[in-house]
Amino acid sequence: MVNAVFYGVTVLVSILLFECNVFAADKLDSGDTAWILTSTCLVLFMTIPGLALFYGGLVRSKNILSVLMQCFAIACLITVLWIVYGYSLAFSGGGDFIGNLDKAFLSGVTRDSLSGTLPETVFVMFQLTFAIITPALIVGAFAERMKFSAMLLFSAIWFTIVYAPVCHWVWNENGWLFKMGALDFAGGTVVHINSGISALVAALVIGNRRGFPEQQMMPHNLTMTVTGASMLWVGWFGFNAGSAVSAGTDAGMAMLVTHISAAAAALAWMACEWMKYGKASVLGIVTGAVAGLVCITPASGSVGPMGGLVLGIAAGFICYYATHIMKEVLKIDDSLDVFTVHGVGGIVGALLVGVFVASNLGGAGFGKDVTMGGQLYIQLISVVATLIYAGVLSFIILKVVDGVCGLRVSEDEEDEGLDTTMHNERGYDI
């Protein structure tokens, strides 16, 4: 009798503890919610106006509005597609490679539904800002020469069959790279390698701008570019620290290493230019900062301060020389250096996190039964898979779009500028 009572009490206590744990896991946390609401605003701020101004200042004055328009239009277009099916394909159940349509049109996402400690509505919106900036980054590769209609069609298809699947691979617990143990805290593969390789393919397919490389095509407004880069730097705290999806120690470390990496990379890039040309350029230091922000993105939740410092220095030097090789040696007109900053920076960060995640180097430590060699292998697989998938699919999409509506404006339209020929407006009335 005593044993039966003891057994019954034990079972009852176990059930109560289990229910309490479940309840705690699903309980809304106002602190986490407040931080992710803030982070969401910061990440959206990175695209409009941050990226738009950064890119806008780098093109010639006759194309300033076209770049601003492309970034703004992508923000609108991807928002609608995310709500209709993008969120579902990325974050609903599904298999190893893609989600299902259980959450199409945000089915089941209500005022009270939760995602961990957040309202699901907040998680939907936070992830949407990542989906917006990724195709917007590609704009820099074909700036000043792609038709606006072609840009919209390319972005819609690319988001559907490139971004959503890769996002599922890495950030959905059902994704094959997630289950493999790939480390990508805030988007080294999903955002930067994904957009970087697609940008390189776009630059190759659409061809160089008229006059490149013989004619110098200088930025028309570096003040605007520095302003945009500064906005990107501030917004990146939401990008990386927000990816902790909580207001805690992981967010704090991610914010710290993000800032360290950006500063170190900016100085490294500046040093390279100073040694080569005898002067430090404003464009160089801000581009270096962006390279450092890119590089630390996949590692921001896994490395410590010294890891952030090393990744930043590596990004500054490696991305600088990659840009030099791309433009001066290979003569490829990736207009605003999307591949060499985002693609190369993302690759460096995605690989080095496999080293600096080690606890003896200040990182968070490897997972159970994982060695440095094993983690590096996993990171390499994630990098190569993203490069091949995004590169091949982007090539196919570009060819399809070219067949449907043509990719490139005419020579006369390119000479006159896209502001007038695509939008019948001028950025400046001087």
Whether 44 has a pLDDT exceeding 80, the answer reads yes
Mean pLDDT of 68-93: 97
- DSSP states along 261-314: HHHHHHHHHHHHHHHHHSS--HHHHHHHHHHHHHHHGGGTTT--HHHHHHHHHH
Categorize the per-residue pLDDT at 90 as very low, low, confident or very high, splitting at 50, 70 and 90: very high
Mean pLDDT of 333-351: 97
Categorize the per-residue pLDDT at 11 as very low, low, confident or very high, splitting at 50, 70 and 90: very low
Extended beta strands in 63-194, E state: 114-115, 118-119
Categorize the per-residue pLDDT at 39 as very low, low, confident or very high, splitting at 50, 70 and 90: very high
Residue recorded with tokens 């992508």: 74
Whether 10 has a pLDDT exceeding 90, the answer reads no
Mean pLDDT of 30-59: 97
Categorize the per-residue pLDDT at 429 as very low, low, confident or very high, splitting at 50, 70 and 90: confident
Mean pLDDT of 65-91: 98
Sort 300 into a burial class: Cβ within 10 Å, 0-12 / 13-18 / 19+. Answer: buried
Whether 8 has a pLDDT exceeding 50, the answer reads no
50/3: higher pLDDT: 50
Helix axes 120-138, 64-81, angle to 10 degrees: 140
Q: Domain of residue 274: give its range.
A: 30-420
Residue 23 placed within a domain:
no
Residue 270 placed within a domain:
yes
Whether 424 has a pLDDT exceeding 60, the answer reads yes
Contact 236, 283 (CB under 8 A): no
CA–CA distance, 314 with 348 (Å, rounded to integer): 8
Helix (H, G, I), strand (E, B) or coil at 152: helix
What mean pLDDT is reported for the chain? 93
Under the phi-then-psi rule, with left for phi > 0, alpha for psi from -120 to 50, and beta for the rest, what region is 303?
beta
CA–CA distance, 114 with 121 (Å, rounded to integer): 8
Half-sphere exposure of 252 (CA within 13 A, CB side): 3
pTM for the whole structure: 0.92
CA–CA distance, 191 with 185 (Å, rounded to integer): 11
CA–CA distance, 89 with 37 (Å, rounded to integer): 23
Categorize the per-residue pLDDT at 308 as very low, low, confident or very high, splitting at 50, 70 and 90: very high
CA–CA distance, 304 with 95 (Å, rounded to integer): 33
Categorize the per-residue pLDDT at 216 as very low, low, confident or very high, splitting at 50, 70 and 90: confident
Q: State the total domains in the chain.
A: 1
- pLDDT for 340 equals 97
Categorize the per-residue pLDDT at 40 as very low, low, confident or very high, splitting at 50, 70 and 90: very high
Residue 205 placed within a domain:
yes
- pLDDT for 24 equals 42
Whether 18 has a pLDDT exceeding 90, the answer reads no
Residue 12 placed within a domain:
no
Residue recorded with tokens 């040696």: 329
Mean pLDDT of 169-198: 97
- pLDDT for 367 equals 87
pLDDT tens across 128-178, in order?
999 999 999 999 999 999 999 999 999 999 999 999 999 999 999 999 999
- pLDDT for 394 equals 98
Categorize the per-residue pLDDT at 2 as very low, low, confident or very high, splitting at 50, 70 and 90: very low
Residue whose C-alpha is closest to residue 88's, from 71, 100, 70, 74:
100
Residue 151 placed within a domain:
yes
Residue 232 placed within a domain:
yes
Whether 57 has a pLDDT exceeding 80, the answer reads yes
Half-sphere exposure of 11 (CA within 13 A, CB side): 6
Residue whose C-alpha is closest to residue 308's, from 320, 292, 284, 324:
292
**Sequence-ordered list of residues with C-beta below 8 angstroms from that of 49, at least 6 positions apart, any chain:** 228, 231
pLDDT tens across 319-331, in order?
999 999 999 999 9
Residue 90 placed within a domain:
yes
- pLDDT for 15 equals 38
Residue 177 placed within a domain:
yes
CATH no. for residue 326?
Answer: 1.10.3430.10
Tokens representing residue 60 in the block: 């010639």
Residue whose C-alpha is closest to residue 397's, from 130, 163, 47, 76:
163
- pLDDT for 21 equals 42
Mean pLDDT of 320-344: 96
Residue whose C-alpha is closest to residue 60's, from 145, 144, 136, 148:
144
Helix (H, G, I), strand (E, B) or coil at 425: coil
- pLDDT for 368 equals 84
pLDDT tens across 218-241, in order?
999 999 999 999 999 999 999 999
Mean pLDDT of 86-91: 98
Distances (CA, A) of 185 to 39, 46, 295, 297, 430: 15, 18, 11, 7, 46
Whether 7 has a pLDDT exceeding 60, the answer reads no
